[in-house]
Structure 1
Amino acid sequence: MPNILILGAGRVGTSVAEQLVHENYNVTIVDENPHNLQPLADKLDLRTLVGYAANPTTLTNAGAADADLLLAVTPSDELNMVACKIAHTLFNVPTRLGRIRDQDLLARPELFNTDGFAIDHIITPAQIVTDLLKRLVETPEALQVLDFGHGRAKMVAVRVEAGAHMDGKDLATLAQYLDKIDCRVVSIYRKNKRIQPDGSTILSVGDEVFFLAARKDIRAVIGQLRATERAIKRITICGGGNVGYRLAKALENDYQVKIIEVNRERAQWLAEQLPACLILRGEATDENLLDNEQVDRCDLFLALTSDDEDNIMSSLLAKQMGARKVVAIINRSRYVDLLQGGKIDVAISPAQATIGALLAHVRQGDIVAVHSLRRGEAEAIELIAHGDRSNSRVVGRKVEEIKLPQGANLAALIRGEKVIMAHHDTVIENEDHVIVFIDNKRHIREIEQLFAVKIGFF
């Protein structure tokens, strides 16, 4: 069983630790603050250690010499960098991941190679969340948008709207509406309960439908599940921190973007950095400010501050005042489950969004991407199939021959530039990127073993 050493028991470290323990990894987590560790020790089967992450004695006591992977996610970039370097130099930890937030550091990739701070993979939560939000802006009807094969295929979650073509229709009808377009519905959630989709499944208003299709076909599929389609033009961002700034920077040339920022100095800096955006200094929970700025004409309101309560209240207020769609960052995962799909259209947990990037390096096998779905209930994985029929359990076989665990769905293949929806007679070839949907994470190991190449291939 792989040994995972996590440095930093903040939101990201804690979320990853919980996930890995549930998947039966051996986890040790280190933090300077015992109050951060005690709740984990009380409820999870893991080892905790109070200490400084970049101290060789601390790392020795934490078992760095036996660690298969080190994840440095303390609040300090410098501490994460030094810890990774020590783990490499003194303990030869095979894989080292470090969270880095400073843009100036990220602009110098030579700092992180083996001769530098020896970080194999850099994790930047703010950029991961920004990319997620940008995909939601580009696909405004969606609850979640995930990329596979460098964006060649996408998995999209959409809630069925009253009056849509597919409202009250069975899934077999979808193919009739989508002439010559192939897509795969991998899961349906109705009142938070999963329904295993087949051709006879009838869709109802409010159903959360996860489908997979080639990038060029996404809009056509959404058009069958939604009755209305309005482009996003006017965007209001509450909070000009790391995520708010990054997102505005990515959107300012294509949309009308306003940022509400409470801090005077930060607002001034944003105005200098984002000349195409309108920067407003004030509280996003100020009803008069929202009214004066015509929030009722806003197509998308994004609450992106670091304060959950401010994000919740400003989102609810904006929605009540007429904002078409509201999205809020919520750090407390239980809040996400309470708020998603109510007055707040989309609630995002940064920790959950970041976990996928980390798990891609933890999982066994040649895994390109891991995406957490439904606030961690399910997962979509992109794996590369290797070998041939003699040394692989999947290569050279039809989908109907592959023994997938219950609740797993081999949804599609990416072969070169081509996206192929998986049917019962589809044959998997060497080097295919295979997209698998898993509704129960207890079966993750079975999927990893299924795609593992038998000894002798290499």
Structure 2
Amino acid sequence: MFGQRSTPQENILILGLGGVGYYLAKRLAHEEYAITIIEPDAKVLSRADGQIDARLIKGSALDIDCWKEADAGKMNYLIAATNNDAVNMMASIIGDRFGITRKIARIRSRQFGNEDSILTARDLKLDLLINPEELAAQEIVRLIKLNAGNEIIDIADGQIQLLATEITDQSPFANKQLKDIAREFNEFPFRVVAIARGISTIIPSGQQELFPNDQIFIMAANRHLPRLMEITDIRLHRQQKTMILGGGMVGMRVAELLQKSVKVTLIENDEVRAEELSYNLANTEVLCGDGSDADVLTAAGLLSMDTFIATTGENETNIMSCLLAKNLMRKSQPKGQAKGYVAEARTISLVTKEDYLVLAQTTGSNIALNKKVMAGNEILKFIRRNELFSVAHLHGFDAEVVELIAAPKSQITRRPLSKLDPFYLDKLIIGSVLREDGWNIAVGDTQIKENERVIVICPSLYLKDVRKLFQG
């Protein structure tokens, strides 16, 4: 259980310091796992040296001498994260021969690893197969099928929910401190647990003020969500039309998953690729054009869309296209529209740079997704599965939600939340605690007791500090 870790330090071998590998190496090394990395590119290793607390070995993932130098037989986990599917699949088999018990591989092809595949995960000796593009596509589809204008995340077996929304000029929360919001809206308990502003994520205190254009996550009990949406002027609406910019692996897969239930228009800049997509996506309208051009978007029917999704391979194109789409929709909204009316498309952008996530979230994107972060977090959940009851990453925020247990005599049990060490007050929020009457939203005078299950929100890199707070 998280906060009561008594097992010896676990050894993890990572093959490849590409996007997923680098992200995982940083996270796991910070959490005091013993990391060994095999990477063939000297420049990549040089960048990692000094930034990642890990043993670095220059060489090929298929060079057995490198495996021996890494003491592969002593590893608890193998993470094959090179950019080559075949190498990752072969590495899992090699890892099995070395006796590594838990093996994870990043495999982009959907032809391998499934129960009906020629080579199943069992054949490949894999415990977890990660497909970043499939994860991103499935998450986009999940968000669209929520039938709401904002993101909702279930935690604590669905008993607690996190609602993402934007603070507008008309929002009842705009230009108010959180402590004043809590006093004014005291019908039931809820907490603002994270704020995305500019390029920063804020874990707020009661003195934090909310401003227009802030993106926030609010935590509340499931039974209070409808009333919370009324308070924040969020209106549910039916998904009827979706526009996708970019026909790569993610864009094509989203269209494939949605086209039978939602009207989908896909815009692809490459003429040959557009023709191929038109052939493969029988129920999707495929258009060839520049999706960063306002006239192209308008001619393609943007103004009648419910959701605009940018999935090209360019960060700037995705962010700016979402901003353009949002502005076009705002300009087309009839004057005098009822407050809370959903007239503009919700925008979702795919961003490959972590540093751009919060920027995307606070400019033109309602939701910003990163394949690398999503894939990495799935792997982290697998590795931590004996420590955490649940974990969720807040899209577009540098923050995570974890559910854990307070160990006897731990720091968290010694005083009310408002009296915690200031070091922790700036880095985490205790959102909810499970008691006999169910999950309770935690407030300043809440006293956590030993062995209670607790939901914590913190920046991604402070999980180690959270662990210390909950350790006995």
What TM-score do you get using the length of structure 1 for normalisation? 0.79
Q: Which structure ranks higher in relative contact order (CA pairs < 8 Å, sequence separation ≥ 6)?
A: 2
Aligned to 2:42: 34
Secondary structure of 1:355's partner?
A: helix
Give the whole-Å Cα distance in 1 for the aligned partners of 2:437 and 2:103: 31
Select 2:313's aligned residue among 299, 306, 328.
306
Q: Take 1:310 and 1:2, find their aligned partners in 2: how far apart are those partners?
A: 41
Q: Alpha-carbon deviations, 1:413-432, whole Å to 9, x = none?
A: 579996543466687797x8
- Report the CA distance shift for 1:96/1:275 in structure 2 as closer, same or farther (over 3 A): same
The match for 2:456 is 436
The letter of the residue matching 2:16 is G
From the superposition, tell whether residues 208 and 283 of structure 1 become closer, same or farther in structure 2 (CA, over 3 Å): closer
- Aligned residue among 361, 366, 370 for 2:387: 366
- Hey, what does 2:466 align to over in structure 1? 447
Deviation at 1:81, TM superposition (A): 2.0
Aligned length: 443
In percent, how many aligned pairs have the same letter?
A: 25
Check conservation: 1:359, 1:370, Cα contact below 8 A: no
Q: 2:47 is paired with a residue of what secondary structure?
A: helix
Where in structure 2 are the equivalents of 1:329-348 lying within 5 Å? 329-348=350-369
SS of the counterpart of 1:71? strand
Matched, 1:212 2:219: yes
2:71 matches 1:48: no
The residue type paired with residue 467 of structure 2 is E
Deviations 1:126-175 (A, max 9, x none): 23222432344336543x54332455533233222222233355656767
8 Å contact 2:409–2:450 — kept in the other structure?
no
Task: Note the 1:40-439 alignment, pairs <5 A.
Answer: 40-41=48-49, 43-90=51-98, 92-108=99-115, 111=119, 116-137=123-144, 138=146, 141-142=149-150, 145-149=152-156, 151-168=158-175, 171=178, 182-188=189-195, 192=200, 194=202, 196-198=204-206, 203-215=210-222, 217-226=224-233, 232-263=239-270, 266-268=273-275, 270-271=277-278, 273-322=280-329, 324-363=345-384, 365-373=386-394, 377-383=398-404, 385=405, 405-406=424-425, 407-412=427-432, 419-422=439-442, 434-439=454-459
Indicate the SS of the match to 1:260.
strand
For 1:293 and 1:155, locate their aligned partners in 2 and report how far apart those are by CA, in whole Å.
Answer: 34
Letter of the 1:256 partner, please give it. K
Query: Cα distance, 1:16 vs. partner?
Result: 1.8
Give me the whole-angstrom Cα distance separating, in 2, the residues matched to 1:438 and 1:286: 39
The change in CA–CA distance for 1:403 and 1:171 in structure 2 (over 3 A counts) is closer
Q: Report the CA distance shift for 1:310/1:194 in structure 2 as closer, same or farther (over 3 A).
A: closer
CA contact (8 A) 2:193 2:203 kept: no
User: Which 10-residue stretch deviates more, 55-64 or 35-44?
Assistant: 35-44
| 1:236–1:302 contact (8 Å) kept in structure 2 | yes
Amino acid at match of 1:258: T
Q: Secondary structure at the match of 1:103?
A: coil
Unaligned runs of 5+ in 2: 1-8, 330-343
Return the alpha-carbon distance in structure 2 between the equivalents of residues 364 and 395 of structure 1: 22
Q: Is 2:215–2:362's contact at 8 Å kept on the other side of the alignment?
A: no
Task: Provide the secondary structure at the position in 1 that maps to 2:17.
Answer: coil
Q: Which residue of 2 aligns with 1:8?
A: 16
Give, in angstroms, the shift of residue 7 of structure 1: 1.0
Distance 2:37 2:81 in 1: 11
Contact 2:81 2:106 in 1 (8 A): yes
- Measured in 1, the distance between the counterparts of 2:14 and 2:277 equals 34
- Paired with 2:371 and 2:440, the residues of 1 have a C-alpha distance of 31
| Cα gap change, 1:106 to 1:261, in 2 (>3 Å) | farther
Offset of 1:41 from its aligned partner?
A: 2.6
Q: CA deviation at 1:188?
A: 4.1
1:244 to partner: Cα distance: 1.6
- With structure 2 as the length reference, what TM-score do the two structures score? 0.77
Distance 2:434 2:126 in 1: 29
Residues 159-211 of structure 1: per-residue CA shift (max 9 Å, x gap): 2222223335565676788786553332445564636344x765443343322
Which amino acid in the other structure matches residue 10 of structure 1?
G
Which one is further off, 23-32 or 154-163? 23-32
1:159–1:225 Cα contact (<8 Å) kept: no
Q: Distance in 1 between matches of 2:376 and 2:449?
A: 28
Decide whether aligned partners of structure 1 residues 173 and 298 sit closer, same or farther in structure 2, where only a CA change above 3 A counts: same
Contact kept in structure 1, 2:196 and 2:215, CA below 8 Å: yes
Residues 273, 45 of structure 1: alpha-carbon distance in 2 compared, 3 angstrom cutoff: same
Shift of 1:239: 1.7
RMSD: 4.0
Deviation for aligned residue 1:300: 2.3
| Counterparts of 1:451 and 1:126, CA distance in 2 | 35
Secondary structure of the residue that 1:318 maps to in structure 2? helix
Give secondary structure in 2 for the equivalent of 1:133: helix
Q: CA 1:161 to 1:81, structure 2 compared with 1: closer, same or farther past 3 Å?
A: same
